[in-house]
Structure 1
């Protein structure tokens, strides 16, 4: 099997994600499989590991973590790399930024992808007091894992989190433990003597807000106890001031880490955002009882009253009581430690990685099924296909400038956007009454207000909605509120019996647009939920990354060009079952060329006028009316036809 691994973290930065990837590579090499790793570039990164080449992707340092890198390459770069390697499956290790692009690249190449949920990024944003981004992080996680062929959750709690976000195809896959390295025999009495104290209470992990190490203040002045902290991070100086009697050892790894853990009497873990808790397994393997918060991964790893205690999340008095119980009872510590050691002996990395290969095989099978379904239905498998009439008779397009057709002029100067072109495709099946209510600069409130009211008066049987971009680029945006408002409008349209086509807003493939990527991802995920709940057709533009390419964008770099409008129209035609839409699109594209303009003209024609309007509180659509506020007939005759009576 050929396995490509796209990881958010790799050497020289050692953490749980990197450790898992190294174990997977070791297992793949041992069993004769080929591997290729794509990871954020960092100083000191090896060129190969366990027989697998390591491809370094351009990266930026994560604020607050100088040694942690975030990959910045687009999905197209990853697609080129994957195409060259020809993988059977793409493993996404703790995907978020680079992993999202890896998921898109795998989708583009029709390769199965397996996403291992390893880091609760949403919880981290909340812990870092950037709650405004927590919802965006959650929706991005949901969207990413729904894109993957299969998702691996490390614990029952994380599986429930993902299910709550609407992710399906979840399988449990934990982490192995190196029982040869982490074992009771490594206990070092001389080391314990240097630390001091009768009972050693230890913590291992990053020293950062999301780990809640400051909660260990509750253990100060515990009689006869010495607190030993292993790890480093941005919170170290503050924690040393808060815990002046604790021993801070800094970052340890390898045998030094194993010796330190085995020399603890009690292992304590206060973090509430752990999807698994690898250090808890290593403590158990070392014969050390564990006290951990009763949330997340520890729920599956700590057996109350058998190998440790779980305390009530946030209850520091309960934390102190649980630790004091073990600190004061050597016999209980030994019994708990032995039980924990016995429990992890069957969780070797060899058996865990063997199960991972089984998940890879399942993902490949599921991908073949998905591809077959898409070929038959011309629609993404997880998007419910509504009951489609043999032929629509009344089509209305709602939206903003993209649907109005800016930057797509006809020979007579009139605008003809993607919806106009889609209407012509639909009319080829026998004529169509068509109205386009879209007006430039409009927002969700406009579609859900005047445009919706007019659409309901015209009683369509097909409605397309592409809206949200103008809301998402505002200084502040409430994405859940936008989605709720739009869903109410879609429910009203669906109640009339109309088929509704929801199109996710999209951005050009420009670096300047990247600041809005998370917002657009969150809104697109919300649209996916709306489509599923209302039985609407979803056109997920992320499934068509070519739409972001320069040739599909107009000279203002904000609106689609004629090429882009044609591209979107034919993709919509495919999904709606227009015969030979893909072939027609290829023929149409071969007859056109994209015309570009220089930077100077772009500033004078587009950028400066937009800035002037913003400074004066104006919008390009002020005072404009829809170009087709009532039905026009498209068919063999261009004469206006009467609107047919609606079928009961």
Structure 2
């Protein structure tokens, strides 16, 4: 591995030598919960298992009937207590479990701990791992510090940044999805950052899943176009700009139908302000893929994403995408070729580009075709390999403890 200073790590420089690992993955959310973190950590866990690693998945119990889904050879789930998150009661927040994790990892010692979320469960996992001198890597997946101003608690920005910096700087490496976010966090004093992008399931998110029946249920006649939004219905998503775009686009194309997929605290207000829109609620799996593919235009006005998984999903589904030059869109979209980009924060330019989509079906169609073409090859296999390299590097650089037997299953070919 090429040695770098504490400011950052280049994933391409990380070890490529394969060995089987015992990995403890700690996350406060996981499918079937529907959110960006759950959707992107699940392919990592599945990919690590497929690559021959033994994964212990530590997460909160999602409901009373929740039971571990174990693969005796490769995957073992550990379910701990959790509490509903305020304003998102369908999601759970993990409770501190330092003692329970410490006892478990003392008996069955993982090679490396991968902490996905920075909540109470993640913090206690970090403490337990450090006490046992286990190597730890982490993910930066949610811009909590950027959300504060949207909920009237902007004064919390500095304390949140300080907590996140303290958390992540105690780990061997923090994976971030974009170079832009890496630079932002470096300016805040975060160390040992590695850029590991996100993948997209191009077999699931595919234009072939377009459904005429679904479009009819939205009130669409042949020839009508659908302006689609997918994501949380929440203040930090900048949905005021979405409504403004729709109003001006509908003046150009009166048959344009607005469909919003998702749920959240802003739903009632949005329904009151835009009663003609279709609110499809939360969707997942094959149904979500059909909703994407059944749209035509995708407008995503958020500026608070760490990555924005909906952008590659919409591109892979063959939609004409408009977004700010930020997060995933900045990495994946070439303005005017496979989508449209507006300068970050420039809402006038954003609306102007939305009007171009409304006024030119030919342009939108060309962008949609190129969107699908450019997303082929952005599957999860390459991303999982990069995560694997980060885990191997953390283990290689960690001061080893005397060997002791463990009961975590290891692959038979090791």
Q: Does 2:52 match 1:32?
A: yes
Counterpart for residue 243 of structure 2: 217
Give, in whole Å, the separation in 2 of the partners of 1:288 and 1:359.
Answer: 33
Q: 1:72 aligns with which of 86, 95, 98?
A: 95
Q: Does 2:377 match 1:346?
A: yes
Contact 1:294 1:313 in 2 (8 A): yes
Give, in whole Å, the separation in 2 of the partners of 1:64 and 1:3.
Answer: 32
Give, in whole Å, the separation in 1 of the partners of 2:398 and 2:365.
Answer: 49
Q: 2:116 aligns with which of 90, 93, 107?
A: 93
Deviation string, structure 1 residues 462-490 (Cα, Å, up to 9, x no partner):
xxxxxxxxxxxxxxxxxxxxxxxxxxxxx
Give, in whole Å, the separation in 2 of the partners of 1:94 and 1:306.
Answer: 35
Q: Does 2:364 match 1:333?
A: yes
Which residues in structure 2 correspond to 1:442-453 (within 5 Å)? none
- What is the CA-CA distance between 1:355 and the residue it aligns to? 1.5
Give, in whole Å, the separation in 1 of the partners of 2:363 and 2:106.
Answer: 56
Q: Does 2:329 match 1:298?
A: yes
- What is the CA-CA distance between 1:282 and the residue it aligns to? 0.7
With normalisation by structure 1, the TM-score equals: 0.55
Deviation string, structure 1 residues 406-458 (Cα, Å, up to 9, x no partner):
xxxxxxxxxxxxxxxxxxxxxxxxxxxxxxxxxxxxxxxxxxxxxxxxxxxxx
- What is the CA-CA distance between 1:49 and the residue it aligns to? 4.8
Which residues in structure 2 correspond to 1:32-431 (within 5 Å)? 32-43=52-63, 44-49=65-70, 51-195=74-218, 196=220, 198-218=224-244, 219-220=246-247, 222=250, 223-224=253-254, 225-368=256-399
SS of residue in 2 equivalent to 1:275: coil
SS of residue in 2 equivalent to 1:29: helix
- What is the CA-CA distance between 1:151 and the residue it aligns to? 0.8
Deviation string, structure 1 residues 383-422 (Cα, Å, up to 9, x no partner):
xxxxxxxxxxxxxxxxxxxxxxxxxxxxxxxxxxxxxxxx
- What is the CA-CA distance between 1:194 and the residue it aligns to? 3.4
User: Residue 317 and residue 4 in structure 1: after superposition, are their counterparts in 2 closer, same or farther (change >3 A)?
Assistant: same
Greater relative contact order (CA < 8 Å, ≥ 6 in sequence): 2
Give, in whole Å, the separation in 1 of the partners of 2:374 and 2:127.
Answer: 39
Give, in whole Å, the separation in 1 of the partners of 2:53 and 2:105.
Answer: 16
Counterpart for residue 14 of structure 2: none
Give, in whole Å, the separation in 2 of the partners of 1:105 and 1:39.
Answer: 15
- Which 4+ stretches in 1 moved above 6 angstroms? none
Gaps (5+ residues) in structure 1?
372-648
Q: 1:7 aligns with which of 27, 32, 40?
A: 27
**Number of matched residues?**
370
- What is the CA-CA distance between 1:298 and the residue it aligns to? 2.5
Give, in whole Å, the separation in 2 of the partners of 1:45 and 1:333.
Answer: 44
Gaps (5+ residues) in structure 2?
1-20, 402-414
Counterpart for residue 422 of structure 1: none
Give, in whole Å, the separation in 1 of the partners of 2:305 and 2:90.
Answer: 21
Give, in whole Å, the separation in 2 of the partners of 1:96 and 1:126.
Answer: 20
Give, in whole Å, the separation in 2 of the partners of 1:245 and 1:311.
Answer: 27
Which has the larger share of helix?
1
With normalisation by structure 2, the TM-score equals: 0.84
Higher-Rg structure is 1
More displaced stretch, 77-86 vs 155-164: 77-86
